[in-house]
Chains A and B, each alone.
Chain A
Amino acid sequence: MFFSFRRSAAVLVKEFIQLRRDTVTLRMIIMIPVIQLLLFGYALNTDPKHLPTAVLSYDNSPTAHTVIAGLKNTEYFSIEQDIHSEQQGQDLLRRGEVLFVVTIPAGFERDMIRGQSPDLLIEADGSDPVAAAGALSAANGMLQRILNQELTGPLAKLQQSPPAFKILTHRLYNPEGFTRYNIVPGLVAIILTMTGIMMTALAMTRERERGTMENLLAMPISPLEVMMGKITPYVLIGFFQSALIIIAASLLFGVPIIGSLWLFFAALSIFIVCNMALGFTISAAAKNQTQALQLSIMILLPSILLSGFMFPFLGMPIWAQYLGNLIPATHFIIISRGILLKGSTFIDIWPHLWPLLVFMVAITCIAILRYRRTLD
């Protein structure tokens, strides 16, 4: 394999000139993000259940256990771990491993018996407001009822003297529960998947369909050079589109940007290269532009449906989560929500950054290996 920057740049210049003359594509590059942002700016409504929850219990009383069982019975909460410090709870929330942290204060049962109405704290990851909303209202209603049924014996009198305890809910990161906050980082991922994969796949199959591939192959230029030259313009377009979405989102919807933009754009670069390499691989498999489009859509649909863009990822069935984890968009959505809405740091996003890196390297290798050096 040999690489010359000059030859790669020649392809890049050619690609830019062709793109400049393709006004339809140019308009799409700008219009797709804007239109999608406006469309998805409206809340998507879903009612996910079995959301991962951590419990921090300072009270080991039967009543505390009843409360936890009650939460489980609402079917909204899936209690996966018991934790032992507030810091641990905060970390889990920030990394997106749980959506809720339930804290039962020390002396919960005792205070209840004394009629002091202790607080039951539920902290929710509000950056996924759709997921949080249903669960929180269920917690409020159902818990009260279940307690009324379960409180028997010496506690029975508490049924009459309201309230036995108060549920305090606390949304972190996105206190107002604005769905569009949540949509914006996801939208960046989806738009990039859409334009990235499709445009790269089309750019390559177009050469084959128009017969110019034969000419390109007859020239002394290596697959890597062609690929770099072809991909770079679309990487730049990807950055442009992301910037457009973020600026529009903060101007139109007042979406706050809490984390580091540098970190965001670093992760973005990796994600963009993943998509380009995917597009390149598709173009090696597709015979013409129509096939390339169909294959792109086959990747695009799961990226929309299984990545946590449409439906809260942790609310999906386990098998769907496994599938979703194989999609780059899934990881990038968690990363970008983390950075933009929660101010996640490098350490926080690492669990989702390395799968992206692995994906990028693997798919780039496949793309280069699959590139046909001959017309065979």
Chain B
Amino acid sequence: MTIQAYAIDVKNLTKRFGDKLVVDHFDVKVPKGKIYGFLGPNGSGKTTTLRMICGLLTPDEGEGTALGLDIRTEALEIKKRIGYMTQKFSFWEDLTIRENLEFVATVYGLDHKKQRVDEALTKLNLATRQKQLAGSLSGGWKQRLALAACILHDPQLLLLDEPTAGVDPKARREFWDEIHKLAANGLTVLVSTHYMDEAERCHAIIYMSYGKLVTQGSVQDVIQGAGLYTWVVQGENLMSLAATLEKLDAVKTVAPFGDSLHVSGTDADSLKAALTPYFDNPAYDWHQESPSFEDVFIRYMADAEDNFLAKKEAG
């Protein structure tokens, strides 16, 4: 195998279900040892993309490599070297934690099976529950089991599909600490998520919408690249103000954050001009802020929806 800078390098990935184009000529490049966040609204094709990368779905078009191996022809070799955590819990609920891990260890043909399983149990704090049936675990513990099982064979690449959906903040935190520890040892991670704080913990993010790449890069790059300008307003009766502001052409998104509203637009001057009439109102307190990642995220979501509606009307 030649030395590869990218753990994942795929081009033009395309997948149709029936006549529905779910992934549309999509490129992904993830450098080795990095954690990449995979973002996008529900149904945008993230799961489908991850499945194509690990050989669970055959792409209709496009090609590329995972860990330097061709995703079309070397799926079996890829499977040996990657860990894939499915969106829906997919371990056997009528097996205990230990039995699940032992099954995985045997299938991957690991040496010192018992020892490896013991280590994995200790590392993820599962040792005391090892005899519990997987089906009786709560969401957070299930995620831990799934993570333990997909890193058991020391994969070089992890594909995690919404690994922390429905998990409490403490467990999420621990989960991410673990991911960072793994990445520090050279593991590459591509993780799909809906959480902003998780996206901000990634080296870079990839934003996908309706099967297409919208933007990618570090969180800072993405925020700057969005070309978004945000005004923050505090005061009384913000909801009725929000309703009024949303109607303005220069305003792209209005999002409540606690006792304030974030009002964003793509053109600084016209946004300011549009908002000026409201600056003098003593009930409100205005100031400009650099947009948060969440503002950007909301804007991309809104854009995607507009595009989708426009396409629907056209078609």
Contact = CB atoms under 8 A, between A and B. Distances in A.
Given A7-B109, A9-B106, A22-B94, A220 B56 contact: no
A10 B55 CA distance: 22
Interface stretch (A75-83, A111-119, A210-218, A338-346): A210-218
A18 interface: yes
A220 B107 contact: yes
A218 B86 contact: yes
A375 interface: yes
Contacts of B54: 218
Contacts of A14: 92, 95, 99, 103
Contact of A18 (B58, B79, B95, B108): B95
Contacts of B84: 218
B51 interface: yes
Interface string B41-57: 00000000001001111
Given A10-B103, A219-B107, A220-B79, A375 B89 contact: no
Contact of A374 (B57, B95, B99, B106): B57
Contacts of A214: 56, 86, 88, 90
A289 B245 CA distance: 53
Nearest to A14: B103
Interface string A195-213: 0000000000000001111
Interface in B81-135: 84, 86, 88-95, 99, 103-104, 106-109, 133
A10 B92 CA distance: 13
A221 B86 contact: no
A215 B91 contact: yes
Contacts of B90: 210-215
Contact of A212 (B51, B91, B108): B91
Contacts of B274: none
Contacts of B57: 374-376
A207 to B, nearest CB: 9
A214 B54 CA distance: 11
A4 interface: yes
A15 to B, nearest CB: 10
A299 to B, nearest CB: 27
Contact of A7 (B55, B95, B99, B107): B107
A211 B103 contact: no
A374 B56 contact: yes
A17 interface: yes
Interface in A1-59: 2, 4, 6-7, 9-10, 13-14, 17-18, 21-22
A160 to B, nearest CB: 82
A18 B103 contact: no
Given A214-B86, A374-B56, A220 B108 contact: yes
Contacts, number: 69
B58 A374 contact: yes
A210 B93 contact: yes
Contacts of B88: 211, 214
B76 interface: yes
Nearest to B82: A218
Contacts of B92: 14, 18, 212
Contacts of B104: 219
A72 to B, nearest CB: 62
Chain B interface mostly = loop
Q: Contact size class for A?
A: 20 to 34
A84 B104 CA distance: 67
Contacts of B103: 10, 13-14
Contacts of A211: 86, 88-90
B203 interface: no
A9 B113 CA distance: 15
B173 interface: no
Nearest to B55: A374
Contacts of B80: 220
B79 A218 contact: yes
Contact of B107 (A2, A10, A17, A375): A10
A14 B79 CA distance: 20
Most A Cβ at <10 Å: residue of B79, B91, B94, B133 = B94
A206 B311 CA distance: 39
Contacts of A221: 107
B79 A6 contact: no
A4 B91 CA distance: 22
B91 A18 contact: no
Nearest to A7: B107
Contacts of A213: 90
Most B Cβ at <10 Å: residue of A2, A6, A13, A218 = A218
Interface in A214-258: 214-215, 217-221
Contact of B79 (A2, A21, A219): A219
A213 B86 CA distance: 11
B161 to A, nearest CB: 10
A4 B94 CA distance: 25
Contacts of B89: 211
Nearest to B17: A376
A18 B57 CA distance: 28
A327 to B, nearest CB: 34
Interface string A321-336: 0000000000000000
A-B complex: 8 closest residue pairs judged by Cβ atoms? A10-B106, A215-B90, A220-B79, A218-B84, A220-B80, A211-B90, A211-B88, A375-B56
Given A13-B106, A17-B94, A219-B107, 14 more contacts: A10-B107, A14-B99, A210-B90, A211-B89, A212-B90, A214-B56, A215-B90, A218-B56, A218-B79, A218-B84, A220-B76, A220-B79, A220-B80, A374-B56
23 contacts: A2-B76, A4-B109, A6-B109, A7-B106, A7-B107, A7-B109, A10-B103, A10-B107, A14-B92, A14-B99, A14-B103, A17-B94, A21-B94, A21-B133, A210-B93, A212-B92, A213-B90, A215-B90, A218-B84, A219-B107, A219-B108, A220-B108, A375-B56
Interface of B: 51, 54-58, 76, 79-80, 84, 86, 88-95, 99, 103-104, 106-109, 133
